[in-house]
Chain A
Amino acid sequence: MTDAAAPEPVTPDAAGASAVPRRSRSFSGRVLYTLLGRWGARVAAVWIGLVALLAVAAPLLANSHPIAFFDGDVWTSPMLRHLTPTDVLLLVVSLAALVLWPLHMLSAKARRRIWLGLIVVTALAVYVFPGVHPPEAVVFSQYREALAENPDARAVHTLIPFSPTDRLRDLPDRRLAEPDATHRLGTTQFGEDMASRMIHACRIALAIGFIATGIAVVIGVVVGGLMGYFSGVVDLIGMRLVEIFAAIPVIFILIMIVAFYGRNLYLIMVVIGLFGWVGYAEFTRAEFLKLRRLDFVQAAIALGVPLRSVLFRHMLPNGLTPVVVTASFGIAGAILTESTLSFLGLGLVEEPSWGQLLNQARDMGGGFYWWLAWPPGLAIFLTVFAYNLIGEALRDAIDPRTQKQKASPA
């Protein structure tokens, strides 16, 4: 009779499990622990964390509207006044996550619930009732002009006192200025501040990666899961569908879509997602084909668990490993695709994105502006590299167990 106080009685698989830390940790917890033990993944996580921080805090870091402004009579905060609903939602949600994370007296489930509730409440408050309404007509130059005219006026500026779309028309021609004290990374051919645009471009880089990959993962997992579970005819039809979609080049479809429907970031995300699910479907199918014959799946069915629950509650978490690994590469791929599109001049116009900034580094006349090339180039490289590092580390963190299991019968 095994003693409950001794957490690990000697079992045939005890040797295989000994590689992982011996505490009551969930599988995902153990993977995360192993993952962050690797310096490559740690550096990558720090870089992506930095990009995420810049993305969330972009309006607080680079803004033509001062944080605080004194016009001689009253102090106002033009920056807060000009925050869009999306800005507010992102800030509140991130702040909530940061505050709730270290609160260990609450259970993980309770923290998740509070956080999700907060997202819903904030989203409702920001978008619907009473809503955040920034002024429709934005005049970037008004505070600079007021400061110049009124000697009593005072302003506390953000770190970079330029908005990404501020073309500095009130100032002497600053177009294509090389980096200097005012513009740390120089300006673009429209006179916009490069540093500001770089910071604001983080949002698109993150959003495109996560949303496009998210769409692809959801489609791929559902299609692949059904194919793997039912096999037979469903699998046959599904695989033909996979082959059809695998044969379609995404970038050409994107060019066509942009040509027909205009430059819409969300459309680009959806199209990348709709044509990128093939890999996830194949992985999920393979996992489900293996899993559906396992005893715990049979046991779940024998307990009367409904099919939906068997598929997505019992099988999916066990078959998600390769999907998660592929998804981290997929995020990198989506960022690259958007950059490619923007570089080809088919991306966004007003809103900054790294690929678009890279595109502006060269002009029609054959000119090349080095200060416009290296920041977005480096950012794209580092981000894609970071996601790839995390993908590799994730694969290794999950692998030791499977490798040991494979090795033991031989």
Chain B
Amino acid sequence: MTPPNDPNPSTGSGDTTLTGAPAFTFEHADAAPHDAASANATKPRRPRHPILRVEHLRVSFPSPNGGRRVQAADGVSLTVFPQQTLAVVGESGSGKSVSALSCLQLIPTPPGKYDGGNILWKWDPGSESKTSKPDAERSEAPDRPPSASAKSASASGGPHYVNLRNFREKDMRAVRGNQIAMIFQEPMTSLNPVYTVGDQIREAIMLHRKVNTSAATDIAAQALKDVGIADPLSRLKSYPHQASGGMRQRFMIAMALACEPRLLLADEPTTALDVTIQAQILELLRHLQHEQGMAVMLITHDLGVVAENADVVAVMFAGRVVECADVHTLFTHPLHPYTRGLLASMPVLGKHQGRLPNVMDGATIPEDLPPGYTVQPHDPTLNPVGGYGGPNAKLHEVQPHHWLLCEKEGDDANTKGAVPELAFYR
């Protein structure tokens, strides 16, 4: 089965005005060598293309009191490169989870609704052996802008992207678990209480690989061993309620990784665990990521976790990415007022601080922005949920490899803004 000669299935929805937007300049990622911040990067191979590219994703939910629909994701743009850890931070309701769930089409529709945007997934020819290639994107998106696709095809040449938003449920099932896996926040409830751990891991394996039960048991046992569980064969026969929280999260990770996905969406994987177990789980994730060479999208609101694990950080607020940079830059030179407030409200170990500042109190407008860029202060009376900046605010690369949601002088209000691409590895 040959892929269609169109590597850029940009959109199926007419409301996105992508034509001419700089969103399709894939060569950006490797355009410039990284600066001092990435001096310690010794990776021999620098991937040119992201494996996941979320473009201006908009998801809304009905308001509980019947008012306007709440825009849970209001133009989220993210990219994840192979083997990279992208941390998505933000407060509750900032759209972190919605963005991740959208990647797997796990948002229930209705009540949720995809209002626009694309979720482009780099289709790996190697993964076709594992599952048959869905032909969803071939038949759909008849209104695809031909110019954009032609441009992208000539510009990138290599990678073939599929738009997961156009995937039907049947095709999506081949992606879920197999190419993109997800682990959830609450290990206590993430495992089915009526089946043994072995049953559940085996089911995950047998869904995506053509193996019989005994072979699946071997793979499952190996997966449990990989996540550091002693005596995996007897553990396979145990029920979830017989294991502790940390162990259950290990089971979840084993289940998610048994099919060797290329991207793991970890939705606050350690929030429900105590600190020592949390460190173990994160260490384990890092180790497995190294071994299997997968990318991780780590959703969290714990800045400590971010600092220790992430390559690139995207800060979200009110359904938008407000700032996106590599982890060093973000922690040393935060530019966005919300990021500054977030960092200011973080307690420092060993320092007597008294009352910690509120996020909004700590939010200060940066003075060192390049000329022409402005960040509007947050005005809760004017815009209670809309966050910073007016409708014209877009993500701009204000400094090399540092993206900020701000307004640019003389910017065209009708364009969508670029998608941040940071092929950075710590």
Contacts and interface: CB of A to CB of B under 8 A. Distances in A.
Interface of A: 1-5, 7-13, 17, 24, 26-28, 232, 294-296, 298-307, 314, 317-318
A24 B241 CA distance: 10
A298 B194 contact: no
Given A10-B244, A301-B176, A302-B176, A295 B190 contact: yes
Contacts of A7: 238, 242
Interface stretch (B69-77, B178-186, B336-344): B178-186
A24 B238 contact: yes
Given A295-B190, A304-B208, 19 more contacts: A1-B228, A1-B280, A3-B230, A4-B230, A4-B231, A11-B244, A11-B245, A24-B239, A24-B242, A26-B239, A294-B189, A298-B106, A299-B190, A300-B192, A302-B104, A302-B181, A303-B255, A304-B172, A317-B195
Interface string B178-210: 100111111011111111000000011001100
A289 to B, nearest CB: 12
B245 A8 contact: no
B244 to A, nearest CB: 4
A199 B404 CA distance: 84
Given A4-B229, A7-B242, A10-B244, A232 B110 contact: yes
A11 B240 CA distance: 12
Contacts of B231: 4-5
Contacts of A232: 110
A13 B235 CA distance: 19
Contacts, number: 99
B252 A12 contact: no
Contacts of B177: 302-305
A303 B204 contact: yes
A4, A5, A302: residue with the most chain B Cβ atoms closer than 10 Å? A302
Nearest to A306: B173
Given A1-B280, A8-B242, A9-B247, A318 B193 contact: yes
23 contacts: A1-B228, A1-B280, A3-B230, A4-B234, A9-B247, A10-B244, A13-B241, A24-B239, A27-B193, A294-B189, A295-B190, A299-B191, A299-B252, A300-B192, A301-B176, A302-B184, A303-B256, A304-B173, A304-B177, A304-B207, A306-B173, A314-B192, A317-B194
Given A296-B191, A302-B106, A2 B247 contact: yes
A231 to B, nearest CB: 9
B172, B207, B228: residue with the most chain A Cβ atoms closer than 10 Å? B207
A305 B190 CA distance: 14
A4 B191 CA distance: 18
Contacts of A12: 188, 245
Contacts of A304: 172-178, 207-208
A408 B142 CA distance: 55
A13 B188 contact: yes
A112 to B, nearest CB: 16
Nearest to A320: B194
B82 interface: no
Contacts of B246: 2
B237 interface: yes
A44 B192 CA distance: 32
When A and B form their complex, which 6 residue pairs have the shortest distance between CB atoms, in order from nearest?
A: A304-B176, A303-B177, A9-B244, A304-B177, A4-B230, A4-B231
B233 to A, nearest CB: 10
Given A13-B241, A295-B186, A303 B230 contact: no
A314 B194 CA distance: 8
